[in-house]
């Protein structure tokens, strides 16, 4: 689902009680593919209202009244809606103090533009949501629909496997002080959406840096699963896919909807021993899950031993796999080339064929 400026969908919510209807964006909304938001209204501002512009980190009406708090509130409410509908992208009205992307009015109310983002755009971008304006909507969606990101964002306070620490991310340098931005990152090698190497469990087995890069990409298949176990029925379906050329099997349980909640760590479907042994014999490059582990949390790692013992890799904490249902795609999950890597975070993606 995509977030969209309500005015682009044809709603009369601009400051002058008019719309900025865009034909392409309106069609998305009418087709049920976009969720409309008006950050100004969500922040408590009326329609009609005074025109406003952003000046540095503040927003002012043309009369000089500061409206920063209302714009920040509207941004926060828009983010809540984006997260509720799992929106990974937004199409926003250009130049707006709330929704502008890349170029906004400079605060002088003379029509002059400066580099910058609207308040809501800036917040969504900081949370990993891609934002474009209406001029780029069609081109962006053609690319967005072809390449699907299956990766959780690495950030402070994110979910991690019980007993390990969340990543520590520090701003080591800033543009204002140093002329460039750079972060210092400390985290476990199995943080977020990540890949397990055989060496994760088996002494002397291959590490990720010892594998050819071709091990990390290939034809994929998504198989939906439900219930406490991934059974032989699912394993046989994986076999059928492998016979047709699939090199990666991604099991979609929908468990990623619990990301950030206590439920994420328990009750997710796991392979039975029989199914794991059967899949290990299929000659796959890898197997992926939209949950935290191939084994129950705090249980022994029998499934890991079986799968990694077959020389394949395991990708855990995938997300958005439901978007792949019924689709033909190539799967990519490239790990960092760390020396002696037992595992690594990956940027996992599916490219539709």
- What are the structural domain ranges in the chain? 2-147, 194-352
pLDDT of residue 88: 85
| Averaged pLDDT, 237-248 | 96
Summary mean pLDDT of the chain? 95
pLDDT in tens, 99-135: 999 999 999 999 999 999 999 999 999 998 999 999 9
pLDDT in tens, 298-350: 889 999 999 999 999 999 999 999 999 988 999 999 999 999 999 999 999 99
Q: Which of 50, 48, 43, 105 is nearest to 71 (CA)?
A: 43
Whether 145 has a pLDDT exceeding 80, the answer reads no
| Averaged pLDDT, 198-225 | 97
pLDDT of residue 144: 65
pLDDT of residue 82: 95
Length of the chain: 353
Q: Which of 291, 305, 298 is nearest to 251 (CA)?
A: 291
End-to-end alpha carbon distance in the chain: 21
Interior CA angle at 73 toward 70 and 74, to 5°?
85
Tokens 């990409």 correspond to what residue? 217
Asked whether 54 and 119 are in contact (CB, 8 A), the reply is yes
Give the C-alpha distances (Å, rounded to integers) separating 150 from 223, 235, 289, 322.
15, 22, 11, 10
d(CA 79, CA 321) in angstroms, rounded, equals: 22
Strands 194-196 and 313-316: antiparallel
Q: Is 335 left (phi over 0), alpha (psi -120 to 50) or beta?
A: beta
Give the C-alpha distances (Å, rounded to integers) separating 172 from 126, 240, 256.
18, 50, 31
Joined tokens for residue 75: 């941004």
d(CA 101, CA 118) in angstroms, rounded, equals: 7
pLDDT of residue 140: 79
Asked whether 165 and 265 are in contact (CB, 8 A), the reply is no
d(CA 67, CA 73) in angstroms, rounded, equals: 10
Say what percent of the chain tops pLDDT 70: 99
* CATH architecture of residue range(s) 194-352: 3-Layer(bba) Sandwich (3.50)
pLDDT of residue 226: 92
d(CA 332, CA 87) in angstroms, rounded, equals: 22
Whether 296 has a pLDDT exceeding 80, the answer reads yes
Q: What is the largest CA-CA distance in the chain?
A: 72
Give the C-alpha distances (Å, rounded to integers) separating 139 from 24, 33, 40, 144, 311.
11, 16, 27, 9, 40
Query: pLDDT class for 283, splitting at 50, 70, 90?
Result: very high
Tokens 């520090």 correspond to what residue? 170
Q: Is 349 left (phi over 0), alpha (psi -120 to 50) or beta?
A: beta
């Amino acid at each position: 689902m995509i977030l969209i400026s309500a005015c682009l969908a044809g709603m009369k919510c601009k400051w002058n009680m008019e719309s900025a209807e865009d034909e392409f964006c309106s069609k998305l909304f009418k087709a049920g593919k976009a969720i409309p938001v008006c950050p100004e209204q969500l922040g408590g501002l009326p329609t009609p209202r005074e025109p406003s512009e952003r000046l540095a980190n503040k927003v002012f009406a043309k009369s000089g009244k500061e409206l920063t708090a209302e714009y920040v509130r509207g941004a926060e409410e828009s983010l809540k809606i984006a997260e509720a509908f799992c929106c990974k992208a937004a199409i926003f009205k250009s130049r707006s103090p709330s929704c502008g992307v890349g170029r906004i009015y400079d605060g002088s109310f003379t029509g002059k533009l400066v580099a910058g983002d609207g308040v809501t755009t800036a917040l969504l971008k900081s949370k990993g949501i891609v934002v474009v304006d209406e001029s780029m909507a069609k081109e962006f969606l053609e690319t967005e629909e072809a390449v699907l990101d299956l990766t959780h964002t690495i950030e402070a306070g994110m979910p991690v496997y019980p007993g390990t620490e969340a990543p520590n991310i520090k701003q080591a340098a800033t543009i204002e002080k140093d002329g460039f931005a750079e972060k210092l990152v400390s985290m476990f090698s199995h943080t977020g959406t990540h890949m397990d190497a055989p060496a994760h469990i088996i002494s002397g087995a291959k590490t990720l840096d010892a594998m050819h890069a071709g091990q990390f990409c290939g034809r994929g298949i998504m198989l939906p699963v439900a219930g406490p176990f991934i059974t032989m029925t699912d394993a046989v379906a994986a076999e059928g896919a492998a016979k047709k050329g699939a090199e990666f099997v991604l099991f979609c349980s929908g468990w990623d909807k619990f990301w950030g909640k206590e439920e994420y760590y328990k009750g997710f479907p796991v392979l039975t021993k029989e199914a794991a042994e059967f899949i290990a014999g299929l000659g796959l490059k890898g197997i992926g899950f939209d949950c935290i582990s191939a084994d129950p949390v705090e249980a022994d790692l029998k499934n890991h031993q079986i799968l990694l013992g077959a020389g394949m890799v395991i990708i855990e904490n995938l997300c958005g796999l439901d978007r792949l249902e019924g689709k033909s795609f190539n799967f990519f999950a490239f790990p960092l080339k760390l020396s002696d890597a037992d595992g690594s975070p990956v940027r996992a993606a599916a490219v539709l064929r």
